[in-house]
A = this chain, B = another copy of it.
Amino acid sequence: MTDWGVLTRMWKLMRDLRLEVTPALEEMGLAHNDHWLLCAVDEHHYPTEIVNATKFPAPTVSQMLKRLEALGLVERSLDKSDLRRYRFDLTEKGRQADEKGRRLMEAAVRRRLSRLKAREQQELIRLLDLMVQETPVTKE
């Protein structure tokens, strides 16, 4: 069945990409998901927004931010206009880690994606895009 075929192939692909990239990320002190968080902090500066963007559970984000803060990759500051809120920003070190992680991951993808012709790459993106769209939540 096509459904199963697509699922297993994607699963293997993501798994293998992760296996390729994890050792290098670990040398930087990053757990495998940390890089996605850095990306999120780069454009969403508040925990709630980061939760919405990444769909990681709130406590996970809280812990990750605490850890990344301890590593000096993100910086926490109080929002004077609403004392419940913390603002987070990438530090210079954080920006570099983000850059480097991103290059690593891109390189891993490119090794595989380069097997496709340019037109096929475009087509792949288009098809993935169709699938990524939100499915309307069905109520019960």
**Residues of A participating in the B interface, judged by any CB pair closer than 8 Å:** 1-7, 9-17, 19-20, 36, 55, 102, 105-107, 109-113, 115-116, 120-125, 127-133, 135
Contact = CB atoms under 8 A, between A and B. Distances in A.
A127 B124 contact: yes
Contact of A116 (B4, B102, B109, B131): B131
List 4 A-B pairs, minimum CB-CB distance, nearest first. Answer: A9-B128, A112-B131, A3-B109, A3-B106
Given A19-B55, A120-B127, A123-B123, A113 B13 contact: no
Contacts of A120: 127
A125 B9 CA distance: 8
A121 B2 contact: yes
A112 B135 contact: yes
A109 B11 CA distance: 12
Contacts of A19: 55
Contacts of A129: 9
